[in-house]
Amino acid sequence: MTHLDVDARTGAAGAGGLSAAEVAERMARGQVNDVPVRSSRSLGEIVRANVFTRFNAIIGVLWVIMLVVAPLQDSLFGYVILANTGIGIVQEWRAKKTLDSLAVIGEVRPRVRRDGTAAEIATSEIVLDDVLEFGPGDKALVDGVCVEADGLEIDESLLTGEADPVVKRPGDQVMSGSFVVAGGGAYRATRVGREAYAAQLAEEASRFTLVQSELRSGISTILKYITWMMVPTAIGLIVSQLTVERNELRGAVARTVGGIVPMIPEGLVLLTSVAFAIGVVRLGRKQCLVQELPAIEGLARVDTVCLDKTGTLTEGGMDLTELRPLGDADEGRVRAVLGALGAADPRPNASLQAVIAACPAPDGWKTADALPFSSARKYSGARLAEGDGTEGTWLLGAPDVLLAEDDPALAETGRRNEEGLRVLLLARTDRALDDAEVAEGAHAVALVVLEQRLRPDAAETLRYFADQDVRAKVISGDNAVSVGAVAAKLGLSGDTVDARRLPAERDGMGEAMDAGTVFGRVTPQQKRDMVGALQSRGHTVAMTGDGVNDVLALKDADIGVAMGSGSEATRAVAQIVLLNNSFATLPSVVAEGRRVIGNITRVATLFLVKTVYSVLLAILVACSQVEYPFLPRHLTLLSTLTIGVPAFFLALAPNKERAKPHFVRRVMRYAIPGGVVAGAATFLTYLLARHHYTGSGALDAETSAATLTLFLISMWVLAIIARPYTWWRVALVVAMGAAFMVVLIVPWLQDFFALKLVGVTMPWTAVGVAVAAAAALELLWRWVDRRFPA
């Protein structure tokens, strides 16, 4: 290991780190790593996001007007908005607290040397000139200069795009956002906080790219079009109501507001936020950290999940089950060499840890030089000096990488691999470790057979994905036959492919990926290429992993899922972190995403049917120069019983339907015909009632008849949306109908909502029109299903 002494000219720390006094001095000067963590919004931001919206502003103005010119019951819509906004704030605040508490559990705590000893501290406590240690999988948190290097290789691809690891020596620059792929060392912080390279790139590399949310962007698109329609329609409605002879000013204003308010699907945005927030809280209880809310949605859309074997299908630990010397090799000496190789690596991986546990380090052996393990080359090595002074260069790694294809040792390896065992080769070479062809001509000495522990929940999780029509692809750096055997034990069937034989071009690789199920001997760059090849063929891809070799693929996948015990770099680029390291948590995430998307799609139709019929009614009223049929209180009642209350329950109900694309098209193909039928039927009833009723109180009677028709049609829309029926869905629909009947029966509620059915002819006519409209809706929606399938 090479060391860099203290720099006397700059006063910067050497390998021993800063003293407590120097740390305090730098903190006083503000030279601290104070980059804000982008985990969640502050309480103030949550309140502003929920209160200061475009539609809240419109409704707020209308509410103030109604408080001045109309009775309290015509202002109920304003109190409903207040309650909705409060619910949204509370739910998002709960989600924020859940996220923040989980983020603390999964927070990276770098090892920093101070006063000559290394200790873990919070990332925000790093100061200028701190000396930080890092090893395989660790991410550089700040910019710095390398002060120690022990076979240190750093991947800077997330910053520069160059995939090849860079060898670092003392004095070399270390950029924040890069991560260690082999070896280890230490670096001195030269730029911290917002001055660091990754921070200047808006943490693009050290964090993650934002997940695309089709749900949110679709709702934004819908709201944009609604705004465009609402403005001219509202102006036309205002003009018509102020010029109608039968309307006095206060009544004209009240009915104008009654026409404008239902055009706004104010609860849709709220319900989406609440559904996401509750999803985060539910997953948080299962120790699943969702670093971006739309990631829940993204995983629900996934049709292909790429699994790294080690740490995902198998547990991290291994056991050495057999040591088989080859030729005339002595087992005792083989064990001594393996023990010395283990002692030569300060940061052993899981395979080497199993070797160390079975083969203790021998006395008197020394390490002259070392080559740490790298996922790209598939082996590690060291030049060892034995107790008698004899030196030799030894390699430990993949047999099919270190040996020629015709080597007889590979046949023995193949038999072990077919049993699902992992086999390493101990080989001796005459070449120097820094030789690019160090493995060329290596002599096989012994086979090291390791048994991997299968995760007890892996088989059940794979069955879940198969049942949900999500294809699983196992991608591993291990031998393809061995990986295939492990997959077979877990019930995963399909072709096994050696990735070294995959086509380099994307189209060919995509075809191979579609055809195969298990892929072995995959390099980190190939994992990234495989994800891209699947995406190019229209697949939505999730990638799971825990090692540094998974970082590039996790970064490029539609959804990256990291294990909580995985490397710091994988957790940094993943959108979802399984803090309990349980692969079995993934079905819960998928189910939560499907619940959110399926239910929001379902209830969005309810909200937008109301918007469509409100716009249509306003246009028909403006063109006909008649009074608007409803006061705000009527539509508040209808919205509460047919949309607000049912939507809340439907949005939070279980839903296992796989998420489908084209959210806007799927919602509007029902909302437009449903809204048109509801609006036209309601206006027809209103015109018939105007013709039927005469004299004082006629307007209230006309409104009551129109309200009855609209309620019944809206209930039928709800009944269609609530399918498939369960006992609680039926009970929900019946309860809403019963609540409306109570309003019609109880005298003081009749007066409060200005609803009183007069006579027999017109109420039954209203029912007849509603029944005809419901039949038309049923036929129309079935035709839409056949003509425009989702």
Beta strand residue intervals within 78-159, DSSP E:
111-114, 117-120, 131-134, 143-155
- Most confident range (mean pLDDT) of 189-203, 515-529, 648-662 is 515-529
Pair 258, 383 in one domain: no
Asked whether residue 600 is assigned to any structural domain, the reply reads yes
Instruction: Name which of 340, 364, 365 is nearest 352 in CA terms.
Output: 340
Asked whether residue 117 is assigned to any structural domain, the reply reads yes
Pair 229, 196 in one domain: no
- Most confident range (mean pLDDT) of 12-21, 471-480, 662-671, 772-781 is 772-781
User: Quick check: pTM over 0.75?
Assistant: no
| pLDDT interval class at 263 (50, 70, 90) | confident
Boundary (domain end) residue, out of 200, 229, 261? 200
For 190, the 3-state DSSP assignment is strand
- Catalytic, out of 129, 130, 143, 308: 308
Pair 373, 224 in one domain: no
- Write out pLDDT tens, residues 61-112: 888 888 887 777 777 777 777 877 887 788 778 777 776 776 666 567 888 9
Pair 708, 756 in one domain: yes
Does position 114 have pLDDT exceeding 70, yes or no? yes
- Out of 208-217, 270-279, 429-438, 737-746, which region has the weakest mean confidence (pLDDT)? 208-217
**Residue in the block written with tokens 């501290």:** 121
Percent of the chain with pLDDT over 70: 90
Q: What does the DSSP assignment read for 12-36?
A: ---TT-B-HHHHHHHHHTT-B--PP
Instruction: Name which of 754, 753, 752, 716 is nearest 733 in CA terms.
Output: 716
Pair 187, 63 in one domain: no
The pLDDT of 752-779, averaged and rounded, is 91
What are the residues whose beta carbons fall under 8 Å from the beta carbon of 501, sequence distance 6 or more? none
Number of domains in the chain: 3
Q: Report yes or no: 32 and 25 within 8 Å, Cβ to Cβ.
A: no
Pair 617, 758 in one domain: yes
Host domain of residue 358: 324-451
**CATH number where 746 lies:** 1.20.1110.10
Boundary (domain end) residue, out of 451, 476, 505? 451
- Write out pLDDT tens, residues 342-390: 888 877 877 888 888 888 888 888 888 888 887 777 888 888 888 667 7
Across-strand partners of 322? 449
The pLDDT of 265-290, averaged and rounded, is 79
For 423, the 3-state DSSP assignment is strand
Pair 626, 749 in one domain: yes
* Mean of all residue pLDDT scores within the chain: 82
| pLDDT interval class at 41 (50, 70, 90) | low
Task: Report pLDDT for 788.
Answer: 67
**CATH number where 415 lies:** 3.40.1110.10
Asked whether residue 161 is assigned to any structural domain, the reply reads yes
Per-residue tokens: 410: 């590979």
**CATH number where 115 lies:** 2.70.150.10
Catalytic: 308? yes
Q: Report yes or no: 678 and 613 within 8 Å, Cβ to Cβ.
A: yes
Task: Report pLDDT for 309.
Answer: 78
- Distance, CA of 395 to CA of 386 (rounded, Å): 16
- Write out pLDDT tens, residues 314-341: 776 778 888 988 888 888 888 988 888 8
- Distance, CA of 632 to CA of 81 (rounded, Å): 13
- Out of 253-257, 395-399, 490-494, 700-704, which region has the weakest mean confidence (pLDDT)? 253-257
Pair 336, 358 in one domain: yes
- Write out pLDDT tens, residues 138-192: 888 888 999 988 888 888 766 665 666 788 889 899 988 788 888 888 999 998 8
Task: Report pLDDT for 199.
Answer: 58
Asked whether residue 303 is assigned to any structural domain, the reply reads no
With b meaning 16 or more CB within 10 Å and e meaning fewer, what string describes 253-279?
bbbbbbbbbbbbbbbbbbbbbbbbbbb
Pair 144, 238 in one domain: no
Does position 773 have pLDDT exceeding 90, yes or no? yes
Asked whether residue 464 is assigned to any structural domain, the reply reads no
Task: Report pLDDT for 3.
Answer: 39
- Write out pLDDT tens, residues 179-232: 888 888 899 999 888 777 655 553 433 333 344 567 777 877 887 888 788 788
Does position 715 have pLDDT exceeding 90, yes or no? yes
Instruction: Name which of 160, 156, 208, 150 is nearest 182 in CA terms.
Output: 150
Boundary (domain end) residue, out of 451, 484, 502? 451
